[in-house]
């Protein structure tokens, strides 16, 4: 029940990666849309992505020093873990002070190491609490918090079996950018100067993924002369070698069917125009593919905590909503053969897209907001 005549005060703990912070910002925006007078305070770390994008979005950010434990016994890892213990011990007083000063009506954690001490302390202080888990395999922080909070929200139902909750968790989906839902495929293709041949969008994340980039280079080198496909490739920051590698392999980069970029700054346009997406299996990306009903070939990163991208990918694969190629099995031939197989069987390709769309939670930000506001006494 919302307090009438009083501005609601909501504290959001999220940090470390855009995968934690962006959904939190989407929910903050939905809360402000409904209650312009609401006061929202974020808690994060001083040196990760939240330190930049939260203030840019117009929200105050309180910071605490926090890091995770290294899973190694190397001298460097042991030293880092000692530092982490020190930070955890120090954070308790700082977190309590931040919560007391802001006096929130509810505290919500969206993941990242910073969520742990903030949500745990709020629960201890008797403040209503909730968490949102983005991945199909929950992180260590949310596994621990799930036993203490009032509400647990999930992106996919597969995560529930790894958690011990006070009550049944709620599958809300993951908030996505509104402009994605407004983009028109045919307008987008015209703006990108793409003809009627299939457009394959390939990307390995903002930094880039060598394994993905190498396989995509081989696919383009093998298929570009046939002119069966259009390729739009985002190489990422560390993939700037891709263009040179393609030239070495004799690919004409002036060919209108090939576009190589470092980043995709117009994701709504590019994603809506695509007929097939090749990429990693981060939770935010998958929610966007689902919302637009895009078939995808997923190549989960093996270098993430708890191998969560594999679990994310399998949540779609098990519903016939994506195809997976594990990195250990990935090369240009395997990827190229899978692309050809999908486009030779358009019915299967379309079915994958339809199944992805069935998994979408278009109103995720609204659902999460309903749950958060419902906790306010």
Average pLDDT over residues 240-264: 95
Average pLDDT over residues 267-293: 95
Identify whether residues 331 and 184 lie together within a single domain: yes
Q: Is the confidence at residue 208, as pLDDT, over 90?
A: no
Average pLDDT over residues 339-356: 97
Identify whether residues 354 and 292 lie together within a single domain: yes
Identify whether residues 24 and 52 lie together within a single domain: yes
- Domain extent for 208: 179-358
The model's pTM: 0.81
Identify whether residues 137 and 183 lie together within a single domain: no
pLDDT band at 306 (very low <50, low <70, confident <90, very high): confident
Which of 95, 148, 138 has its CA nearest to residue 118?
Answer: 95
Identify whether residues 63 and 98 lie together within a single domain: yes
Identify whether residues 195 and 328 lie together within a single domain: yes
Q: How far apart are CA 35 and CA 71, in angstroms?
A: 43
CATH number for the domain spanning 324: value is 3.40.50.2000
Average pLDDT over residues 296-325: 95
Q: How far is CA 371 from CA 41, 106, 118, 132, 205, in A?
A: 18, 11, 19, 11, 31
Answer yes or no: is 2 within a domain. no
pLDDT band at 1 (very low <50, low <70, confident <90, very high): very low
- Cβ neighbours for 12, distance < 8 A, ≥ 6 positions apart: 24, 27, 28, 40, 41, 42, 43, 107, 108, 109, 110
Identify whether residues 85 and 191 lie together within a single domain: no
Q: How far apart are CA 187 and CA 266, in angstroms?
A: 13
CB atoms within 10 A of CB 347: 7
Q: Is the confidence at residue 87, as pLDDT, over 60?
A: no
Answer yes or no: is 288 within a domain. yes
Q: How far apart are CA 341 and CA 263, in angstroms?
A: 28
Identify whether residues 348 and 368 lie together within a single domain: no
Identify whether residues 138 and 188 lie together within a single domain: no
Instruction: Give the best-scoring range by mean pLDDT among 49-58, 219-228, 304-313.
Output: 219-228
Identify whether residues 70 and 186 lie together within a single domain: no
Task: For residue 53, give the H/E element and its range.
Answer: helix 50-56
Looking at 2-6, 167-171, 173-177, 287-291, which range is the least confident one? 2-6
- Cβ neighbours for 256, distance < 8 A, ≥ 6 positions apart: 193
- The domain tally of the chain equals 2
Structure tokens belonging to residue 1:
């029940």
Average pLDDT over residues 347-359: 97
């Amino acid at each position: 029940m919302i307090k009438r005549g009083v501005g609601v005060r909501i504290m959001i703990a999220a940090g470390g990666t855009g995968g934690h912070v962006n959904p939190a910002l989407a929910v903050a925006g939905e809360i402000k849309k409904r209650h312009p007078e609401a006061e929202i305070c974020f808690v994060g770390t001083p040196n990760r992505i939240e330190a930049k994008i939260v203030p840019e979005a117009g929200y105050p950010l309180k910071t605490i020093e926090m890091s995770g434990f290294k899973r190694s016994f190397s001298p460097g890892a042991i030293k880092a873990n000692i530092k982490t213990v020190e930070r955890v011990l120090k954070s308790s007083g700082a977190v309590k002070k931040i919560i007391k000063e802001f006096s929130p009506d509810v505290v919500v954690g969206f993941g990242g190491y910073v969520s742990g001490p903030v949500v745990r302390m709020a629960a201890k202080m008797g403040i209503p609490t909730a968490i949102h888990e983005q991945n199909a395999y929950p992180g260590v922080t949310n596994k621990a918090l799930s036993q203490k909070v009032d509400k647990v929200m999930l992106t996919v139902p597969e995560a529930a079996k790894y958690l011990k909750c006070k009550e049944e968790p709620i599958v809300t989906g993951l908030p996505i950018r509104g402009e994605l839902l407004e983009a028109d495929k045919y307008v987008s293709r015209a703006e990108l100067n793409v003809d009627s041949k299939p457009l394959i969008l390939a990307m390995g994340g903002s930094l880039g993924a060598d394994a993905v980039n190498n396989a995509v280079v081989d696919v383009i080198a093998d298929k570009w002369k046939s002119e069966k496909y259009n390729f739009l490739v985002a190489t990422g920051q560390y993939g700037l070698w891709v263009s040179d590698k393609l030239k070495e392999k004799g690919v004409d980069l002036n060919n209108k069917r090939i576009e190589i970029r470092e980043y995709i700054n117009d994701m709504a346009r590019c994603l809506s125009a695509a007929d097939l997406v090749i990429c990693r299996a981060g939770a935010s990306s998958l929610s966007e593919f689902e919302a637009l009903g895009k078939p995808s070939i997923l190549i989960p990163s093996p270098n993430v905590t708890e191998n969560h991208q594999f679990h994310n990918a399998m949540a779609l694969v098990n519903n016939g909503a994506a195809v997976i190629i594990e990195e250990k099995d990935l090369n240009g031939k395997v990827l190229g053969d899978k692309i050809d197989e999908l486009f030779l069987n358009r019915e299967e390709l379309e079915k994958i897209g339809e199944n992805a769309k069935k998994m979408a939670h278009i109103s995720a930000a609204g659902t999460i907001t309903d749950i958060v506001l419902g906790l306010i006494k």
